Structure formats: structure tokens, C-alpha cells
């Protein structure tokens, strides 16, 4: 089954929707990427909020438009608060997205992520090693970095999508986004983005926000990948290394409009 390329017009349409809706995104994410994640969402016109206490997290995920669960710096306390937030989001009919950072090599997060698969995530975003590990097809990468190509994880992504009913995005040089039946491919981006912490985690937050958009979810998630990749390509062209990439990337996300994307 050959993946289709995401239509540029669909990405442009989704970006316009995103800026108009300005989704309120409840981010339960890791310590390392919180600031960058918030700034990425703000640059795109969304409204991020990080709420982590168990009781408050449950309260807030019913109010927010979407929930992000990122296990990068998981602890027992945070796992409890995440479960409470997911339950509340599910009850309120709000979509939640899983970023299974470094799943596979580490037991606690691996068990936790597998438990979460039964709780109806709207989307899952990971690199090839993470998606392979989550689908039970490999032991995970080296630390938080992938040791596999996205294409090699496409069958795992498709199986995971069918198992969970989630849209699964496996990202790398080319991103693949699948619901288990249809698969979209997204090109763009640059290897320099792997030299900046949080680009993948921030993409997961944009994916989470995109799940709050009306319309076809597969297209919305692929559009999120496309917007980030295009902003990344522009920022690389405007920068001289990973340091200057960061402000250039946020500026590019802020400036990007439907016409640019189409």
C-alpha cells in the first residue's frame, strides 16, 4: 500500500482552521521541552497551558480543547496525574495525544505507554524506534534518538493505528501519518532539527492541538507535520546553526500562512 502525498491545499486549509480556532492545549509534557513547546503553540496562535497536579489536571483536561501526554520525564506522580487527565478528557469527549518518548529501553514508561494504548488516544506521534517499540516490534532506540528510518516503522505504525484506532505519525526524514487504512507522506524539514531539543516533542503538541480541529483527523495530523516541516526548512535557510535556528523557527511558524503552505 503506497502512501499518498499530503495535498498542499489541505495543509493550508488546516493551518487556517488552526489559527481561527486557537485551540487551548493542555500539555503534560517533559521538563526539558516545556518552554519550547509553549512557544511553538503560541507562535501558531494556539493557547498552551501546563497543569500537572492530579486534581487540577483532571479538571483542566475537561476544559481544554486537547490534551498532550509526553512521557519524557515520567515519574510515578506524573503517571497518576496523566491517567486522571486522560480519564477526564475521555469523559468530556476531548482528544488526547501520546508522545511515547524513549519507549522500549526503559521499563516504567514502556509499561505505562502500553497501558495507555487501551485508553483511546486520538493520535500517537513518535520516531521510528519508538513506534516500533510501542507496536512490540523492537526494543527501542539509543536514549531518546531513533536508530531506525521512518519507512521501516510504517508497518508498525499501521498495525498500531488499527489496534488503537488512533492516527499514528512516525516522523523522520519523511513523515508517515496513518489511520491503519490510509497513509499520507509528508516531506520537508532538515536534519539540523535533530540538533535542537524538543522539535519532535513540540510537533506532538501541534498534533495534539490539531486533533481539536473539525474535519478529517488524518489530514489534520499530516498538516501539523507539514507546517512544522515547512517552517523548519525556512528556518534552516535563515540560520547559521542550531542556536539561530530556534528564533528563526518560531518566527517562521508565526509568519506562515495558508498561501505559503499551498
- Which chain residues interact with its own copies by CB under 8 A? 24, 30-36, 38-39, 42-43, 47-53, 55-56, 59-60, 63-64, 72-77, 102, 105-109, 142-145, 194-198, 239-255
Query: Residue 144 Cβ, how far from its own copies at the closest point, in Å?
Result: 5
Whose Cβ is closer to its own copies: residue 5's or residue 195's?
195
Whose Cβ is closer to its own copies: residue 221's or residue 231's?
231
Whose Cβ is closer to its own copies: residue 108's or residue 237's?
108
What sign for the dihedral angle of Cα 6, 7, 13, 19? positive
What nine digits make up the cell of 32? 526539558
Contacts 24+ apart (CB under 8 A), 157-161: 157/131, 158/1, 158/183, 159/135, 160/117, 160/124, 160/131, 160/134, 160/135
154 φ, ψ (degrees, to nearest 5)? -60, -45
Parallel, antiparallel, or unpaired for β 96-99 and 4-5? unpaired
What sign for the dihedral angle of Cα 67, 73, 77, 80? positive
**How many angstroms separate the CA atoms of 116 and 131, rounded?**
14
What nine digits make up the cell of 253? 511558524
Whose Cβ is closer to its own copies: residue 10's or residue 65's?
65
Query: Residue 179 Cβ, how far from its own copies at the closest point, in Å?
Result: 29
Query: Residue 194 Cβ, how far from its own copies at the closest point, in Å?
Result: 8
120 φ, ψ (degrees, to nearest 5)? 55, 60
Whose Cβ is closer to its own copies: residue 53's or residue 115's?
53
Whose Cβ is closer to its own copies: residue 79's or residue 207's?
79
Amino acid at each position: 500500500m503506497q502512501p499518498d502525498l499530503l495535498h498542499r491545499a489541505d495543509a493550508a486549509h488546516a493551518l487556517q482552521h488552526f489559527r481561527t480556532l486557537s485551540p487551548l492545549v493542555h500539555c503534560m509534557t517533559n521538563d526539558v521541552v516545556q518552554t519550547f513547546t509553549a512557544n511553538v503553540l503560541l507562535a501558531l496562535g494556539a493557547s498552551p497551558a501546563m497543569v500537572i497536579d492530579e486534581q487540577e489536571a483532571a479538571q483542566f483536561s475537561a476544559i481544554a480543547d486537547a490534551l498532550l501526554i509526553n512521557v519524557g520525564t515520567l515519574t510515578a506522580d506524573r503517571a497518576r496525574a496523566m491517567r486522571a487527565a486522560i480519564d477526564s478528557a475521555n469523559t468530556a469527549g476531548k482528544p488526547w495525544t501520546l508522545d511515547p518518548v524513549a519507549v522500549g529501553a526503559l521499563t516504567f514508561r514502556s509499561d505505562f505507554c502500553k497501558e495507555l494504548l487501551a485508553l483511546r488516544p486520538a493520535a500517537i506521534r513518535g520516531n521510528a524506534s519508538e513506534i516500533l517499540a510501542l507496536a512490540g516490534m523492537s526494543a527501542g532506540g539509543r536514549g531518546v534518538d531513533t536508530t531506525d528510518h521512518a519507512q521501516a516503522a510504517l508497518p508498525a505504525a499501521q498495525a498500531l493505528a488499527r489496534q488503537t484506532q488512533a492516527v499514528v505519525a512516525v516522523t523522520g526524514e519523511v513523515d508517515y501519518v496513518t489511520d491503519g487504512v490510509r497513509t499520507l507522506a509528508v516531506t520537508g524539514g532538515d536534519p539540523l532539527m535533530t540538533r535542537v531539543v524538543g522539535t519532535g516533542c513540540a510537533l506532538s503538541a501541534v498534533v495534539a492541538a490539531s486533533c481539536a480541529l473539525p474535519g478529517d483527523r488524518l489530514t489534520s495530523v499530516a498538516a501539523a507535520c507539514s507546517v512544522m516541516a515547512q517552517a523548519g526548512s525556512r528556518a534552516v535557510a535563515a540560520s547559521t546553526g542550531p542556536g539561530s535556528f530556534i528564533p528563526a523557527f518560531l518566527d517562521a511558524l508565526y509568519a506562515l500562512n495558508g498561501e505559503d503552505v499551498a
